Amino acid sequence: MGTRRDRLRAATVKEISETARRILVEEGPEAVTLRAIAREMGMTAPALYRYFDSHGELLRHLVGDLFTELTGELRAALKRVPHDDMSGKFMVASRQFRSWSLAHPREYALLFGAPVRGVGEQEQVDFAEECARQFGWTFMELFLQLWKKKPFPVPPDDEIDPVLLPQLRAYRDTVLGVELPLGVIQQFLKCWIRLQGGVSLEVFGHLEFALTDAEPMFELMLAEIAPQIGLTYTRR
C-alpha cells in the first residue's frame, strides 16, 4: 500500500485541501473554485477530478476538515481544564467555540450557514457528516459528564411536550445509545440552541445593528445558562 504513487496521491489530496482552505480564508467561500485551486497549484481544473468527483465533494471534504480542526481545538482546550472543574470545562468549551467561530467566519459560514447548493447533497456515507457528528458529540459528551457528575434538576417525561418526547427518545436511543432522562436531552438542546444561535448571529453580523462587540451579551448568556445546569458562572 505504501507504493510511491499512493504517497504522491495522498500528498496531492492534502495539497488540494490546504489550497482550498487558504483560498477560503483569504478570498471567501465563493472564490473556492476548482479553477482557482488548480491555478494556485500549477495544475488545470480537470485534473482535480482525479481526486474529487465534483466541486461539491471537494467542498464537503473541506467541511469535514474544518469540523475536525474545530473539534480538535475544543478538545485541546478542554484538556487544559482540571478534570473535576465542570464549570470551567463548560465555560472554556463555549468560549472556545465562539472564539474559533469569530476567528474563522468564512469557515463558520461553510459549516453552520444556510445549506449551500452542491454541499448539501450527500452521496452514501458522508465524510463531512461523520466529522460533524464528532463535533456534536464533543459538546454532548461534556453535557453528559456534567449531569452524571452532578445531576441538575430536569423535567420528568410527563412534563415534556408530547410532540417533543418521541423525538428526544428517538435521538437518545438511536443516535446516543445511552441511558438517561429525556429531560437531560431537552436541557442540552435548550443550551445548545442558545449557544450556537447567539454565535451564529454574531458571526454573520446580525447584531451589528446595535453592537460592535457582542462578547458581553455572550457572557450574559453563559451566566444565565450556567445555573440552569448546576454550574457556577466564572469570569474569563
List interacting residues with its own copies (CB under 8 A).
28, 30, 105, 108-109, 112-115, 117, 132-133, 136, 161, 163-164, 167-168, 171, 175, 185-186, 189-190, 193-194, 196-198, 200-201, 203-207, 209-213, 215-217, 219-221
Q: Which is nearer to DNA, 4 or 236 (CB)?
A: 4
CA 158, 161, 162, 167: dihedral to nearest 10 degrees? -110
In angstroms, give the least distance from the CB of 153 to DNA: 51
> What is the separation, in whole angstroms, between the first and last Cα of the chain?
49
CA 14/CA 17 separation, integer angstroms: 5
Q: Which residues of 166-204 are buried (b: 16+ CB within 10 A; e: fewer)?
A: eebeeebeeeeeeebbbbbbbbbbebbebbbebbeebbb
- Which of DNA, its own copies, none does residue 38 bind (CB under 5 to 8 Å by kind)? DNA
User: Which residues within the stretch 12-71 sit at the binding site for DNA (CB under 7 A)?
Assistant: 12, 33-36, 38-39, 42-47, 49-51, 54-56
By rule CB under 7 A, what string of x and - marks binding of each residue 80-119 to DNA?
--------------------------------------x-
Q: Which is nearer to its own copies, 114 or 125 (CB)?
A: 114
